[in-house]
Amino acid sequence: MCDLEALDHIFDSYNITSVVHLAGLKAVGESVKNPIKYYHNNLYCLINLVECMNTHSVKSLVLSSSACVYGDPEEIPLKETSAKQIPVSPYGKTKMMMEMILEDLAKSDNSWEIISLRYFNPIGAHPTYLLGENPIGIPNNLMPYIAKVAAGELEKLTIFGDDWDTPDGFGVRDYVHVVDLAEGHRLALSHLRSGYQVYNLGGGVGYSVMEVVNAFQKVTGRDIPYVISERRGGDVNTLVADTSKAIEELGWNPQYSNIEQMCLDHWNYWKIHSEKIKTK
């Protein structure tokens, strides 16, 4: 998407009527270490995309945004109208800037139809276990990191901080099953209308890192060795969604909200696709 000529060729080659923009760099920790990489990639790709869409008169767009736009929030759960703090990480700042760009675009031209979906933490796998998450190296997200440790691919899980302002001292996040997330996109496409809209997509329940580790161990029977490290730059205490707007306006009805089921789906995918497990 950073190659405008290649992007233009795609629009010339296919009858595109709407776009779901999922591409982008997304690791909070990496963005703190290499912010320019994130600003260049995420913002430049978006500008290329909307310029190309405009040239081809394609003005229906669903953006993959993030709960990171809320920064370190003062109120929980988070509504779309909650006061946004300055995001803690450069990644979060790129998502906020992307939303600002699209909101300004929609205000300048009412033929644009744009929805930003603010993801919380997608986990799980498709029930067929043909589609799931298997990152190369040390994962940046909790669930694939736990799965790699459970599979024996990594020795132990590193937990970033046990001194957060939460009930058990571990960071709290809201987890949404990837299948429910996909359904949210389908519904967003069918509810596009003139202007700019925002929806939270999350599970609506907060779980600490340790609660997720314990749930994974319970449903899989695998031990997850871990070590406590210092807090990671860009992280915050708690992020939990109020998803009532998506439920009421989009008709979104999450089917996989149980954390244990989400852990089990993720692990079942790994049991099929992890070479380490296959050879045990």
- Give the start-end residues of each E strand in the chain: 19-21, 60-66, 113-119, 121-123, 157-160, 172-177, 195-201, 206-208, 226-229, 238-239
What is the spatial distance between Cα 85 and Cα 77, in angstroms, rounded to a whole number?
15
Q: Taking CA 47 as the corner, what is the angle to CA 111 and CA 82, rounded to the nearest 5 degrees?
A: 75
* Res 158 pLDDT > 60: yes
Q: What is the pLDDT of residue 121?
A: 94
Task: Choose the catalytic residue: 70, 91, 175, 207.
Answer: 91
Average pLDDT over residues 259-263: 96
Question: From CA 252, how far away is CA 266, in angstroms rounded?
Answer: 22
Find how far residue 264's CA is from the centre of its chain: 19
69-92 pLDDT, tens digit per residue, is 999 998 999 999 998 789 999 999
At 170-229, the pLDDT tens digits run: 999 999 999 999 999 999 999 999 999 999 999 999 999 999 999 999 999 999 999 999
- 91 is known as an active-site residue: yes
Q: Which long-range contacts (CB under 8 A, 24 or more apart) does 80-87 make?
A: 80/118, 80/198, 80/199, 80/200, 80/245
> What confidence score (pLDDT) does residue 216 get?
97
Q: How many helices (H) and strands (E) does the chain have?
A: 11, 10
Let me know: does 62 contact 185? Beta carbons within 8 Å: yes
Q: Could you give the C-alpha distances from 176 to 110, 133, 169, 180, 254, in angstroms and in order?
A: 32, 14, 22, 7, 8
Bond preceding residue 77 cis, omega within 30 of 0: yes
Residue 247 Cα to chain centre, angstroms: 18
Mean pLDDT value of segment 51-79: 96
Q: How far apart are CA 120 and CA 202, in angstroms?
A: 5
Three-state SS for 103? helix
Q: What is the mean pLDDT of residues 223-250?
A: 95
